[in-house]
Amino acid sequence: MANILCFLLHFLVLSLLLCQTPQIEAKNNTGFSVQLIHKNSPNSPFFTKSLQAQTRDSNGPFSRVTSNNGDYLMKLSLGTPPVDMYGLVDTGSDLVWAQCAPCHGCYKQKNPMFQPQRSKTYQPIRCDSEQCDSIFGNSCNPKNKCFYSYSYADNSVTNGVLSKEAVTFSSTNGDPFVVNDIIFGCGHSNTGTFNENDMGMVGMGGGPLSLVSQIGNFYGKRRFSQCLVPFHTDPHISGTVSFGEASDVSGEGVVTTPLASEDGQTLYMVTLEGISVGDTFVPFNSSEMFSKGNIMIDSGTPATYIPQDFYNRLVEEVEAQISLLPATDDPDLGTQLCYRTERNLEGPILTAHFEGAHVQLTPTQTFIPPKDGVFCFAMAGADDGLYIFGNFAQSNILIGFDLDRKTVSFKPTDCTKQ
């Protein structure tokens, strides 16, 4: 959500908020997956002919989430007949919404907007309903429609009509998977740091209105897993988001940490005790004391944000273990720790020490190239008290979120082969 260079250099923060649920029907209950793809993939709706000449054709994924300026776009098909919508996957918020026509004062969108009047299954939520009461910022109009206003930490806002609609996914066996009566926001006025490829948002948080919770009504289990490909990956290759039985994270190498969030809370808060650089442990706090639930896992934010003091101590140790001299003569790079190199760094390995779960991070997950010939540390210091384990660090890890058991599991995985 923003110019890519600006995004990667300054690490803007996205996301937040809450809500409620409906009755769900689906074709089966064995689980299904959706794929995460880069926007430059030939499987993406934003793939151009010039890019096509540079890449091989592929069979194409079932459902999509495109790497888009450091975020991932997930394909949902809304309505009857289904219309494809690509929304930012965000574990830091709940509401699923799409830009809907007519759209007044909306951000520019490359693909056609969803037209609710053309869908046989579209149904606005009534203002006197329980679902309308549950969403913050609701209001009524003379036709008894429930209007909503939903905002994010970066001051992006969506305004529109809270509605129900059929959502079609592609399943792992290739058959369409239809979930009826998903509550979503039909956004008629949307502003903020959105990219023209963004057609809305897919809230994957822990609140009642998130896609995870709504699908969980059908399965009886609120859980999902994600496997994100690294930011710079061959554009033919995609990762996955899985629901139901298909979301199981098990086998060798799995580690699990408890969720510190309250049931129904949007944010996935976990406890980070510190980060090791090689064999050197750097505690979260210099006093080596830390509070439970001190960092959130957010797929909607690229960088990892940690307390400024922690960041300073961590960078000092990272710098000490890298033989190259940092790049200090480029004003575009600001105060970030960056190195001039054509290929990513050889080391060091960082280990994120969550409560009961030690997760190794390679340079692919901790250094990113904001421009050619430069790799920068993909973490930043923050003083606002909201600390984030971002999606760069989450790549090449199969991460399972179990809202009922209140756990998050991690398994080292080559997500390019999922």
Q: What is the pLDDT of residue 220?
A: 77
Together in a domain, 235 and 329:
no
> What whole-number distance in Å separates Cα of residue 162 and Cα of residue 145?
8
DSSP 219-241: HS--EEEEEPPPSS--TT-EEEE
Active site residues: 90, 298
- Structural domain ending residue among the three candidates 211, 231, 246: 246
Q: What is the pLDDT of residue 66?
A: 57
Return phi, psi of residue 161, to 5°. -110, 125
Q: What is the pLDDT of residue 16?
A: 34
Together in a domain, 271 and 238:
no
> What whole-number distance in Å separates Cα of residue 186 and Cα of residue 355?
39
> What whole-number distance in Å separates Cα of residue 46 and Cα of residue 64?
12
Q: Are 150 and 185 in contact (CB under 8 A)?
A: yes
| CATH number assigned to the domain comprising residue 95 | 2.40.70.10
Together in a domain, 115 and 257:
no
Q: What is the pLDDT of residue 241?
A: 86
Together in a domain, 180 and 282:
no
Together in a domain, 257 and 379:
yes
Report the Cα–Cα distance between both ends of the chain, in Å, rounded: 26
Together in a domain, 213 and 309:
no
pTM of this structure: 0.84
Q: Which helix (DSSP H) or strand (DSSP E) does residue 309 occupy? A: helix 308-320
- Structural domain ending residue among the three candidates 189, 223, 246: 246
From first to last of the 418 residues of the chain, give the pLDDT tens digit: 433 334 343 443 333 333 333 333 444 455 666 665 554 444 554 443 333 322 224 222 235 455 666 788 888 899 999 999 999 999 999 999 999 999 988 999 999 999 999 999 999 999 988 888 888 777 787 688 999 999 998 899 999 999 999 998 877 667 778 889 999 999 999 999 898 989 999 999 999 999 999 988 877 789 999 988 888 776 667 778 888 777 889 999 999 999 999 888 999 999 999 999 999 999 999 777 778 999 999 999 999 999 999 999 999 999 999 999 999 888 888 889 999 999 998 889 999 999 999 999 999 999 999 888 999 999 999 988 889 999 999 999 999 999 999 999 999 999 888 7
Together in a domain, 221 and 333:
no
Q: What is the pLDDT of residue 135?
A: 82
Together in a domain, 10 and 102:
yes
Q: What is the pLDDT of residue 115?
A: 97
Together in a domain, 282 and 391:
yes
Q: Which residue has the tokens 């996955």?
A: 240
Together in a domain, 156 and 258:
no
Q: What is the pLDDT of residue 178?
A: 86
- Structural domain ending residue among the three candidates 202, 227, 246: 246
Together in a domain, 232 and 313:
no
Together in a domain, 225 and 289:
no
Which residues form the domain of 336?
A: 251-417
> What whole-number distance in Å separates Cα of residue 184 and Cα of residue 161?
9
Q: Which helix (DSSP H) or strand (DSSP E) does residue 8 occupy? A: helix 4-10
Q: How many domains does the chain have?
A: 2
Helix ranges (DSSP H) in 321-416: 363-366, 391-394
Q: Copy the structure tokens of residue 302.
A: 């690229």
